[in-house]
């Protein structure tokens, strides 16, 4: 019976496996084989579901406990540690939404996020198109784009960028964040888009060129629509980076009017002597939900772009 252990679980039963079993013949009596395989099937599905349940628990548990705490009262958190609040209230959310620290940092995050998304796409699309379609001197700099982010983590950027911002008078400005985040995102964005542009058949553009389309016309009516899913992907990545980035905003921005959500959340847990867990939890949930909404909104367009891109 040691055969029925999870060791067989790594890959699904393949055609060859079945063929092998068939060619073995049936040394055991048929009914018993059927029973064995059924038990084996049940054991197999139980064994496969254990890591899957673990995966769900591992991923969801932090979200769930945070949501649970955010619905409780400040004292209730300690008095009643059960996961389902006895009398859930939205007071913490009301407090957070009414506080200036949240609204200001929320709009700062939106502004910086939209700015980074737009700027990244505006700069990376032509660059990626040039790297993918033209042969020109310096095209080898593309390698730089794939290597640099590996060499320059944000820990290596903190002090130099801070000193640069001080020297140029760009400290404590949202525009600085937009530019710095865009620079951080560009290598990934260009790299993704180059692969996508190269996958678009050259012949389509050649045909359009024969029909009299200019470079701008080709970009606008052929490459653009075909590459829309990739551009939206780049946009999502750029927005996520701007929404979540923490270490650089920590040193580049100081005044409360310019902070983004992660910075404000960090400040929130620092200033008060005794942590107000429901407020912190509600603030955390409120930083995550807008991104989920944004993503589900955009995901539709990713799918739509894929369909219209491939079909026509």
Partner 1 sequence: MTTTTAPEPKADPKPKGDRRWWQRKEPPRQDNNAIIGVGKSTPYLFSLPAILLVAGLLGFPVIYGLVQSFYRRPSLGADPEWVGTENYTDMFSSDAFWHSLNKTAIFVFGSLVVGMALGLLFSFALFKVVGRLRFLRAVTIGPYIVSNVAAAVMFRILFNAQFGTVNQAIEWLPWVETGPRWLADPTMAMVTVIFTQVWTDLPLVILLLLGGLMTIDKAHLDAALVDGATGWTRARHVTIPLLAPQMLISVVWLSYSTLTGLGVVLALTGGGPLKATQTMAMEMYTVGFRNLEFNEALAIATFILILNGLLTLGYVGIGRKYDYEA
For partner 1, the binding residues in 27-46 under the rule CB under 8 A are none
What secondary structure does DSSP assign to 165-200, as a single string?
HHHHT-TT-HHHHHHHHHHHHHHHHHHHHHHHHHHS
245 binds partner 1 (CB under 8 A): yes
Q: Which stretch binds partner 1 (CB under 8 A): 89-97, 99-107, 151-159, 220-228?
A: 151-159
307 binds partner 1 (CB under 8 A): no
Q: Which stretch binds partner 1 (CB under 8 A): 25-33, 91-99, 178-186, 301-309?
A: 178-186
Interface residue with partner 1, options 22, 52, 98, 274 (CB under 8 A):
52
Rounded Cα distance, 8 and 37, in Å = 13
Rounded Cα distance, 230 and 220, in Å = 15
Give yes or no for a contact between 133 and 172, defined as CB atoms under 8 angstroms apart.
no
Q: Judged by CB, which is closer to partner 1: 89, or 269?
A: 269
Q: Which of 178, 188, 161 is nearest to 116 (CA)?
A: 178
Provide, rounded to whole angstroms, the least separation between the CB of residue 204 and partner 1.
10
* Chain residues 182-241 in contact with partner 1, contact rule CB under 8 A: 182-184, 186-187, 190, 202, 205-206, 209, 215, 240
244 binds partner 1 (CB under 8 A): yes
266 binds partner 1 (CB under 8 A): yes
Rounded Cα distance, 125 and 86, in Å = 52
Q: Which of 262, 249, 198, 254 is nearest to 226 (CA)?
A: 198
CA atoms within 13 A on the CB side of 4: 14
Q: How many residues does the chain have?
A: 312
Q: Which stretch binds partner 1 (CB under 8 A): 33-41, 99-107, 227-235, 244-252?
A: 244-252
Q: Which of 136, 152, 139, 233 is nearest to 193 (CA)?
A: 233
66 binds partner 1 (CB under 8 A): yes
312 binds partner 1 (CB under 8 A): no
92 binds partner 1 (CB under 8 A): no
Neighbours of 166 (CB within 10 A): 11
Provide, rounded to whole angstroms, the least separation between the CB of residue 144 and partner 1.
7
Q: Which of 129, 249, 241, 232 is nearest to 182 (CA)?
A: 241
293 binds partner 1 (CB under 8 A): no
Interface residue with partner 1, options 26, 246, 301, 304 (CB under 8 A):
246
What's 225's DSSP letter?
Answer: H
Helix (H, G, I), strand (E, B) or coil at 148: helix
55 binds partner 1 (CB under 8 A): yes
Interface residue with partner 1, options 38, 295, 303, 308 (CB under 8 A):
295
Interface residue with partner 1, options 111, 123, 298, 306 (CB under 8 A):
123
Q: Which stretch binds partner 1 (CB under 8 A): 30-38, 86-94, 225-233, 273-281?
A: 273-281
Interface residue with partner 1, options 269, 276, 306, 309 (CB under 8 A):
269
The structure tokens listed for 87 are 């009398």
306 binds partner 1 (CB under 8 A): no
């Amino acid at each position: 019976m040691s055969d029925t252990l999870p060791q067989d679980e790594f890959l699904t039963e393949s055609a060859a496996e079945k063929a092998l079993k068939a060619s073995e013949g049936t040394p055991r009596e048929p009914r018993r084989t059927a029973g064995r395989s059924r038990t084996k099937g049940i054991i197999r599905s139980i064994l496969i579901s254990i890591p899957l349940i673990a995966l769900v628990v591992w991923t969801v548990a932090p979200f769930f406990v945070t949501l649970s705490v955010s619905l409780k009262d400040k004292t209730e958190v300690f008095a009643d540690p059960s996961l389902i609040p006895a009398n859930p209230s939205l007071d913490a959310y009301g407090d957070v939404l009414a506080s200036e620290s949240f609204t200001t940092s929320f709009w700062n995050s939106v502004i910086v996020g939209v700015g980074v998304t737009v700027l990244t796409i505006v700069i990376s699309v032509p660059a990626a198109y040039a790297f993918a379609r033209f042969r020109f001197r310096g095209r080898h700099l593309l390698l730089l784009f794939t290597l640099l982010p590996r060499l320059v983590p944000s820990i290596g950027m903190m002090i130099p960028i801070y000193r640069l911002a001080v020297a140029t008078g760009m400290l404590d400005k949202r525009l600085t964040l937009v530019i710095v985040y865009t620079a951080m995102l560009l290598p990934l964005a260009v790299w993704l888009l180059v692969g996508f542009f190269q996958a678009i058949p050259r012949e389509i553009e050649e045909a359009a060129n024969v029909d009299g389309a200019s470079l701008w016309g080709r970009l606008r009516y052929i490459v653009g629509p075909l590459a829309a899913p990739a551009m939206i992907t780049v946009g999502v990545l750029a927005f996520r980076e701007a929404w979540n980035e923490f270490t650089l905003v920590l040193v580049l921005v100081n005044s409360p009017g310019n902070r983004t959500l992660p910075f404000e959340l960090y400040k929130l847990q620092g200033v008060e002597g005794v942590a107000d867990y429901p407020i912190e939890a509600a603030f955390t949930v409120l930083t995550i939900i807008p991104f989920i909404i944004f993503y589900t909104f955009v995901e539709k367009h990713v799918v739509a772009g894929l369909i219209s891109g491939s079909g026509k």
